[in-house]
Amino acid sequence: MSLNLNFITNDETVRSKLSQSITQSPHDRHDVYRFIGEDFCRNLHNLVETLRDHMMKEENTIIFVNGGYRVLGLIIFRIIHIPINAIMVEVICVPETGQRGIGTQLLNKVKELAETVSLPIYLFPLDESVEFYIKNGFIEHDGGFYVFSPSTTTTTTTTTTGGKSKPRTSTRTRPRKKMLRKAKTRRHHRRT
């Protein structure tokens, strides 16, 4: 399914990278804000207010699915530099539209950006969305946040063999199935 994705940003780095695959929106933040109703985030009213707050922050980038006169889903993020260099996802929200895969496509655009700029993605998911993020390659860390590390992130180590140094590069793999089982078990224990 191909979606009509648009973005709004004031960040030049993000603009130059995203404009290669997504259309920059002719709308501004206020236009998109008007399409966000109280039931936009699956009736999580407190999330709607958080979403609206993040939409209006100039340092945040918005990628949204343009459905004509309505927004079919959006993700809000920003590049941070303190205390680390990373992409911080503030909110991702997809209303009940009957269409599947919108959240994944929005997240994939941010993951593509992360690959391009070689930055990890950080987020703090709601309990009911943890499984979604694990399926999409995020790994849980202490403190309740999840991280996606781009595959272009490699580690270089030097080994010495017979007095000669040889650099060795390896790419970290993510044990997705194991993490998914762990998350399901943890949620089951919280409910009981």
Structural domains in the chain, CATH included, are: 5-191 (3.40.630.30)
pLDDT digits (tens, 9 = 90+) for 130-157: 999 999 999 999 888 999 999 754 433 3
The reported pLDDT for the residue numbered 165 is 40
The reported pLDDT for the residue numbered 171 is 36
pLDDT digits (tens, 9 = 90+) for 81-136: 988 899 999 999 888 766 788 999 999 999 999 999 999 999 999 888 899 999 99
| Single-letter amino acid, residue 176 | R
Prediction pTM value: 0.76
Distances 120 to 5, 20, 70, 84 between C-alpha atoms, Å: 22, 20, 31, 10
pLDDT digits (tens, 9 = 90+) for 43-63: 566 788 888 899 999 999 999
Check pLDDT > 90 for residue 36: no
* Mean pLDDT in residue range 162-191: 44
Q: How far apart are CA 54 and CA 77, in angstroms?
A: 9
